[in-house]
Structure 1
Amino acid sequence: MAKTQLDTLLKYEQEKVDRCAEQLKIAENEYQQNITRLQGVADYRLEYMKRLSQRAEQGLDSATYSHYHAFIAKLDQASSQVEIAMHQAKALAEQSKSLWLKQRQKLKAVQSLQEQRMKKLNLAEQKREQKMFDEIATQQLIRRNIR
């Protein structure tokens, strides 16, 4: 493979690694946001339960109690929905990480191939230079012997 082809392939694979890393970052951020949302809903539910308890100590009619109970049920439903979203975000983050790792492995393979190619080119260049120096030395020796 020509040097320019390897350079192009290396650049392409690096761009793919960068895109995979960006997708991983987004997926992990979404997962963390869902964890924060879930904690926020749980904290709000706890606070609301405390208010219900305080109001119950002061006396509470059944309509108000039903109102509190219905709102707590909505908070529980919201918590379940956020938990589902969190699990989906976690799965997506894990999938994104796997893709990123595979792409990094491909990039390293291309980098290794490029390094091997560079070593071969350098070795060939060194041989050419050595051959040229040997030819110069031979020519100088011939000229000295002719004189």
Structure 2
Amino acid sequence: MAMKQLDTILKYEQDNEQRCADQLKVAENEYQQNVNRLQGVADYRLEYMKRLSQRAEQGLDSATYSHYHAFIAKLDTASAQVELAMRQAKALVEQSKNIWLKQRQKVKAVELLRDKRLKKIAVAEDKAEQKMFDEIATQQYIRRPSR
């Protein structure tokens, strides 16, 4: 395989690796956003529960209590939805990471093949150069006047 072809393949695989790395970053960011959302919902729920507790100490009517209770149920539902989204995002992170690692292996394989090819070319060039020097030395020896 010619060096130009190996260089083209290497560039293609490196570009694919970069796309995979970018997708992994996007997936990791989405996962982190879901973690932050879940924490935000949990914090808000805790704050709302504190308010309910404070209002209950002062006394509240059943309609207000029902309002608080319904809103807390909505927060619980939102929390469950965000948790599901977080698990899905985590699975996507793992999948993206595996894809990136496989692509990284491809890049390393092509780099190794390219390096071997470069070494082979260098050895061939060294042999050709040595052959040329040997030929020059032989010609000089033959042309040297006899004593």
TM range (shorter): over 0.9
User: Which residue of structure 2 lines up, in the alignment, with residue 98 of structure 1?
Assistant: 98
User: Which residue of structure 1 lines up, in the alignment, with residue 114 of structure 2?
Assistant: 114
Q: 2:70 corresponds to which letter in structure 1?
A: A
Q: Counterparts of 1:75 and 1:145 in 2: how far apart (Å)?
A: 104
User: Which residue of structure 1 lines up, in the alignment, with residue 18 of structure 2?
Assistant: 18
What is the CA-CA distance between 1:39 and the residue it aligns to? 0.4
What is the CA-CA distance between 1:68 and the residue it aligns to? 0.4
Q: Counterparts of 1:71 and 1:116 in 2: how far apart (Å)?
A: 67
Q: Counterparts of 1:126 and 1:17 in 2: how far apart (Å)?
A: 35
User: Which residue of structure 2 lines up, in the alignment, with residue 78 of structure 1?
Assistant: 78
Tell me the matched-pair count.
Answer: 147
Provide TM-score, normalisation by structure 2: 0.98
Q: Counterparts of 1:102 and 1:25 in 2: how far apart (Å)?
A: 16
Q: Counterparts of 1:115 and 1:145 in 2: how far apart (Å)?
A: 47
User: Which residue of structure 2 lines up, in the alignment, with residue 56 of structure 1?
Assistant: 56
User: Which residue of structure 1 lines up, in the alignment, with residue 142 of structure 2?
Assistant: 142
Q: Secondary structure at the match of 2:144?
A: helix
Q: Counterparts of 2:18 and 2:65 in 1: how far apart (Å)?
A: 54
Q: Counterparts of 2:8 and 2:128 in 1: how far apart (Å)?
A: 27
User: Which residue of structure 1 lines up, in the alignment, with residue 130 of structure 2?
Assistant: 130
Q: Counterparts of 2:137 and 2:98 in 1: how far apart (Å)?
A: 58
Q: 2:80 corresponds to which letter in structure 1?
A: S
Deviations 1:97-147 (A, max 9, x none): 000000000100000000000000000000000000000001100110468
Provide TM-score, normalisation by structure 1: 0.98
User: Which residue of structure 2 lines up, in the alignment, with residue 44 of structure 1?
Assistant: 44
Q: Secondary structure at the match of 2:60?
A: coil
5+ residue gaps, structure 2, are: none
User: Which residue of structure 2 lines up, in the alignment, with residue 32 of structure 1?
Assistant: 32
Q: 2:30 corresponds to which letter in structure 1?
A: E
User: Which residue of structure 2 lines up, in the alignment, with residue 5 of structure 1?
Assistant: 5
5+ residue gaps, structure 1, are: none
Q: Secondary structure at the match of 1:60?
A: coil
> Share of identical aligned residues, percent?
78
Q: Counterparts of 2:145 and 2:43 in 1: how far apart (Å)?
A: 99
Q: What stretches of structure 1 move > 4 A for 4+ residues in a row?
A: none
User: Which residue of structure 1 lines up, in the alignment, with residue 67 of structure 2?
Assistant: 67
Q: CA-atom RMSD, angstroms? A: 0.9
Q: 2:49 corresponds to which letter in structure 1?
A: M
